[in-house]
Copies of this chain bind each other. A is one copy, B any other.
Amino acid sequence: MKTTKDKNRIPEATMRRLPRYFLQIKRLLDEGSRYVSSKKLGEYLGVKGTQIRKDLSYFGVFGKARYGYETLSLAKAIKKILGLTKQYKMVIVGAGNIGRALASYSGFHTCGFDVKYIFDVDENKIGTVISGVKVYDFDKIEQVLDKGEIDIAIISTPEDKALQAAQRLKENGVHAFYNFTSAELNSIEDAFIEDAEISHGIFKLAHRLRGKWPRKEND
């Protein structure tokens, strides 16, 4: 699944901002706004208007003079860029505090990521329902999951169970893992691993406090 470095690739920082643009435009749509200027959008997000115009221009998306961007078509365009025209089915493995919090995280549902099952090994949790999703016995995963049914697994087990859990999911056809533990899962072959990087944000803040790191908009 490796790809070669592509000179035309969209900058990482641009891709990082797109979900925030999308969520803010969703909010504006809910409030009934038909248009939004890059300047106004920038004020909500703490990003310069020029940066927003540059980011969106990579995808051939441009605003209208005086009106700015039409919110509905901008939402549709970003949805397409982010690959959200399809639904993604997820499982959460580990119904501790993080797992429970993620099960009720509204951003997932808004963007077409649906949590189908939660797994745990704790008998007190199995059979309960968290934010509308039932908790199943991880040891009976084969009886619950159809192969290829699940696109993404969120790993929120204790650290020392994370690798084992991910490997068992992989045997059951899951290839993408969103890792909320501090375990390293990158030794799993032919899988997409994304670390939640909780510690990264705090390091960045520490750096900024010491004056070594510029503010967000210059990142």
Q: Are B176 and A205 in contact (CB under 8 A)?
A: yes
Interface window among A12-20, A65-73, A136-144 = A12-20
Q: Which residues of B contact A20 (CB under 8 A)?
A: 184, 195
Residues 86-115 of A, flagged 1 when their CB comes within 8 A of B and 0 if not, give 001000000011101110111110010100
Q: Which residues of B contact A47 (CB under 8 A)?
A: 186
Q: Which residues of B contact A100 (CB under 8 A)?
A: 97
| A214 interfacial by beta-carbon distance below 8 Å | yes
Q: Are B205 and A46 in contact (CB under 8 A)?
A: no
One of B44, B105, B192, B216 near A209 (C-beta < 8 A): B192
Nearest opposing residue in chain B for A156, CB measure: B101
Q: Are A83 and B196 in contact (CB under 8 A)?
A: no
Q: Are B215 and A3 in contact (CB under 8 A)?
A: yes
One of B2, B43, B101, B102 near A96 (C-beta < 8 A): B101
| A204 interfacial by beta-carbon distance below 8 Å | yes
Q: Are A152 and B107 in contact (CB under 8 A)?
A: no
